[in-house]
Amino acid sequence: MKVAVIGATGMVGNVILQVLEERNFKIIELILVASEKSVGKTIFFKGKEYKIVGLQDAVNSKPDIAFFSAGGKTSLEWAPKFADVGTTIIDNSSAFRMDADKKLIVPEINASELTKDDKIIANPNCSTIQLVMALAPLHKKYQMKRVVISTYQSVSGTGIKAVQQLENEMNGIDGDMAYNYPIHRNAIPHCDLFLENGYTKEEMKLVREPQKILNDRTVAYTATCVRIPTSGGHSESVNIEFENDFDVNVVRELLNETNGVTVQDSIETNTYPMPLFAHGKDDVFVGRIRRDLSQKNTLNMWIVADNLRKGAATNAVQIAEYLVENKLV
């Protein structure tokens, strides 16, 4: 494949390159794109030096696949231009996720929906991906009614400026603020912009995106998203009400049998998922699996994943792998 990475110098762009190398994705030509101020600079990939080019030069190169990770504004303006020259775009922004004409894909769940006609494919929100990876097998067996989500999200989900803010505060250094408040020794119940309904954009992504991915708009979702002082890895406390009763041991078996999910759930050995140990891994980790004693047919569990890998870069590369394997590009 002739591959372009748009936003190659950003946090997710860097991890996309790392995952492409780790998974030995077959590339005959690599086109790296970043902001105008970065054009001409170089990035190493598989021991070879590549110069960063501008967006129009990348379009003119007519790549087979383009990974977009440069923000929604760039995606809205430039993804259609790439599509017009025959490129298949895998977009990591929120620009196309809820577009009725664009597929929102987690490969283990709904890659079979993809066709050759899908030239712009949306990569879901990082918190959504790890959530639906755990929900999908349970929904299929027990039929979900309502899902209550509380997230504990790392600063890397905001970007490099937020990571730097945390590091500065830990070291007593004054610097630029990505948040309205200090994040070190704090928890900020504010991820993304507030909307008129009182929820943030991040919370509404967790309400809407799972319905589209699981192709079931009858399930009700509600979410509260909190930023915490961890540098990587998102955690979620999830409460699920089902139509049908379940056996907790069967739930654990279902999750353990799900490709891309690892169960870490032993109160005897204090084994449960944590962002510290999810770092750099592609699986979604699930633990603290237990029945909600306050009402029938309801389950509690704790979900953790590396938000830059399965939550972004790895999921995008897996989509590309599916396209290639099934000759859709």
The whole-number pLDDT of residue 198 equals: 98
191 catalytic residue (yes or no): no
Annotated catalytic residue: which of 126, 139, 191, 225? Answer: 126
The whole-number pLDDT of residue 158 equals: 96
The alpha-helical segments, DSSP class H, found in 171-265 are: 201-213, 248-256
The one-letter amino acid at 122: A
The whole-number pLDDT of residue 110 equals: 98
Tens digit of pLDDT at every position of the chain (329 positions) = 999 999 999 999 999 999 999 999 999 999 999 988 899 999 999 999 999 999 999 999 999 999 999 999 999 999 999 999 999 999 999 999 999 999 999 999 999 999 999 999 999 999 999 999 999 999 999 999 999 999 999 999 999 999 999 999 999 999 999 999 999 999 999 999 999 999 999 999 999 999 999 999 999 999 999 999 999 999 999 999 999 999 999 999 999 999 999 999 999 999 999 999 999 999 999 999 999 999 999 999 999 999 999 999 999 999 999 999 999 99
Annotated catalytic residue: which of 139, 191, 225, 234? Answer: 234
The one-letter amino acid at 290: R
244 burial type by CB count under 10 A (0-12 exposed, 13-18 middle, 19+ buried): exposed
All domains in the chain, ordered by first residue? 2-123+312-325 (3.40.50.720), 127-307 (3.30.360.10)
pLDDT digits (tens, 9 = 90+) for 95-149: 999 999 999 999 999 999 999 999 999 999 999 999 999 999 999 999 999 999 9
The whole-number pLDDT of residue 237 equals: 98
- Asked if residues 63 and 328 have their Cβ atoms less than 8 Å apart, the reply is no
Q: What is the DSSP string of 253-315?
A: HHHHTSTTEEE--BTTTTB---HHHHTT--SEEEEEEEE-TTSTTEEEEEEEE-TTIIIIIHH
pTM tops 0.95: yes
190 catalytic residue (yes or no): no
